Structure formats: structure tokens, C-alpha cells
Structure 1
Amino acid sequence: MKQLQITSMKQFMNHLLVADTFEPFLLEEAVIGTACTYRIDGHVNQEFYSGDEDDKEKDIYEFRPWGQLKGLCFDLIKGRRTPLFFRFVLHLMPHKAAALLEKENCDVPPDQVKALVLNIRYDGAKATLTTGTALRTFHLSKMPDAIWDKALGRYLDGKGIAYEELD
């Protein structure tokens, strides 16, 4: 687990809510505090889909892609006033997580890693990103955590997102 503090909020918010920077992620949950608190559960409601073969969204992921919900989040956040807080729980898309772990020769099989998680928290003044790894069963290895921590740092650096590591 690694914590990173964003050093340029304006730049980061553009990456988060406007650019396609976080398109490789799924949204598990969003909580946004403005005039009231909005909660978005990113779980896909399978019952919503009719079962038609045209429903390509059905059964693809457990959560909705960030790209499909970021506009809604943007609409809730934008305005004259800064939000009081927000929290997003994102998961790297499963096929991308598996590819990353395989590429790095992880000692935990990719099918045992449920999710590579990115928590984004804004407290009204600063944003903090925290990595996490959800495993399907207990493993002593910390290799998936280390791989995810390094990969996220490289990804943010590649996108030009300014941050500093917290202890």
C-alpha cells in the first residue's frame, strides 16, 4: 500500500474528470459531498438488462467503467463552490490487472487477485491516492502490492500527474 498526495489539484481534477486518464478503471463507489452528499454504487445491476444479445454491457464487469460515470461525477462536483469532500474507489480493469501481474512475473497467480484498487480521497484541501490489493484467498506474498505500487507511480508519471509520496 502506497499513499500519494496530489500536488496540483487543478491538473489532477482535469485528468480525473475530463481527460481519459482513468479510463482503464472501474468505479466501485463514489461519495461526493457538496450541498448534500451523493453516493454512487458502481455495481452493475444485472436485472436492468433485458437479456437481449444487444446488451453488451451485461456480464462484462462487476462494476461500471469509470468513463461511463465520470461525467455524472463531474456534474456533481462542478460549480462555484469547491466540494466539501469526495471519495472514489476505483479498480484497475481485470484484464489489465492480470496482464500487469503476468508481465511482472508475480508469484501470486492473477486469478487469485480480485482487484488492484485505487482510493482517491479529497478532504476539501488536498487529494490523496492510496493503492490497495484485494486477494481472493490469503497469501503471504506482498508481490502484487509492490507491483501495483510501482505501476501506478509509473502511470502517473507518464501522464504528468504531480504528486509526492507520503510515509
Structure 2
Amino acid sequence: MREHEISEQKKLTTLLFAKEDFDEYLLVEAKVQTFATYHISGKIVKEYFDDEESRKESFCQWKKVRNLCYDMVKGKKLPISFTIVLRLSSSMLLQWLKNQDIDNHLVDGKSFFVNIYYREKRLYVVSGMASETFGLDKSVEKLWDDEVFRILSQLKVVA
């Protein structure tokens, strides 16, 4: 887990809420605090869908709720705070493993997250990994931390 303070807040929030850069990530949850507090669970309610295709992932894609979240944060006043927890989708994970030449079995039972939070006029991104089992080897977690920093650097939002 590594925390990055975002130096280019406007740019990252534009990429997050108004562009497609994060659309393929899965939304685990979002919380926005303005005059009221809004909570969104990204957990898919499988009974809602008729087709199997919509049931592949446990969480919805960020692009499905991005505009809703944008409507909550936009306006003349900045939100008091917001937290958005994104997770790598299965296809994104497979692509990342291929690019990093990581064996699939090393990530069995692991989930990879990008946590974005805004508080006290500061914006942060925290990389994270959750594992179903405890292990001493943190090499994959470090690779994920490095990948998130690489992405943020490529987007030119960190110093």
C-alpha cells in the first residue's frame, strides 16, 4: 500500500469524473459528502439482470456510475470529502499480469485496488491489495504499488 498526494487535483478529477481513463475499473464503493452524504455500493445485484453477460463481475464498472458521481461533486462549492474505491477488473488484471510477466497463480485470491480520496482540500490516491490468505511475500503488492505510481506519473498528476 502506497499513498500519493495528487499535485494536479483538477486534472485528476477531470480524468476521473469527465473522461474515460478510469472507466474499465470496477467500483467497489463511493462516498460523497456535500450538503448530504451519498453512499454508492458498486456491488452488482445479480437478480436485476436477465443475461449472463452482465453477471461476470461482482462489481459494476466505474463508467456505469461515473456521471452520477460527477453530478454529486460538481457545483459552485467543492465537496467536503469524497472516497472512491476502484478495483481491477478481471480483464485488466490479466493484461497487467501479462505486461509484468507475472504468473497467474501468484495472484490467486488477491484483489488490486485504487483508492481515491479527497479531504481537507487535498486529494490522495492509495494503491492497495487484498488477499484471501496471509503470505510473507509482498513482491506482487510492491509491483502493484509501482504500477499505480507509474499510471499517476503517466497522467502527470503527481510531482
TM-score computed with the length of structure 1 as normaliser: 0.87
Cα offset for 1:140?
A: 1.5
Which residue in the other structure is 2:73 paired with?
77
Letter in 1 for 2:158: Y
Letter in 2 for 1:163: V
Give the counterpart of 1:56 among 35, 53, 58: 53
1:120 partnered with 2:116? yes
Letter in 2 for 1:43: K
User: Tell me, what secondary structure is at the counterpart of 1:163?
Assistant: coil
Distance in 2 (alpha carbons) for counterparts of 1:113 and 1:79: 40
Q: Kindly, what percent of the aligned residue pairs are identical?
A: 27
Cα offset for 1:107?
A: 6.3
Give the conservation status (yes or no) of the 8 Å contact 1:107–1:141.
no
1:90 partnered with 2:79? no
Letter in 2 for 1:83: P
Q: 1:89 to 1:106 in 2, by over 3 A?
A: same
Aligned length: 159
What is the 5 A alignment of 1:1-167? 1-49=1-49, 51=50, 53=51, 56-57=53-54, 59-106=55-102, 109-160=105-156, 162-164=157-159
Distance in 2 (alpha carbons) for counterparts of 1:113 and 1:16: 27
Greater helix proportion: 2
Superimposed CA distance per residue, residues 137-164 of structure 1 (whole angstroms, 9 cap, x where no aligned partner)? 222111111111111122222223x214
Give the conservation status (yes or no) of the 8 Å contact 1:113–1:133.
no
Q: Where does structure 1 lack aligned partners over 5 or more consecutive residues?
A: none
Q: Where does structure 2 lack aligned partners over 5 or more consecutive residues?
A: none
Letter in 1 for 2:80: L
Distance in 1 (alpha carbons) for counterparts of 2:21 and 2:73: 18
Higher mean C-alpha displacement, 27-36 vs 116-125: 116-125
Backbone CA RMSD of aligned residues = 1.8
Give the conservation status (yes or no) of the 8 Å contact 1:77–1:83.
yes
Q: 1:144 to 1:113 in 2, by over 3 A?
A: farther
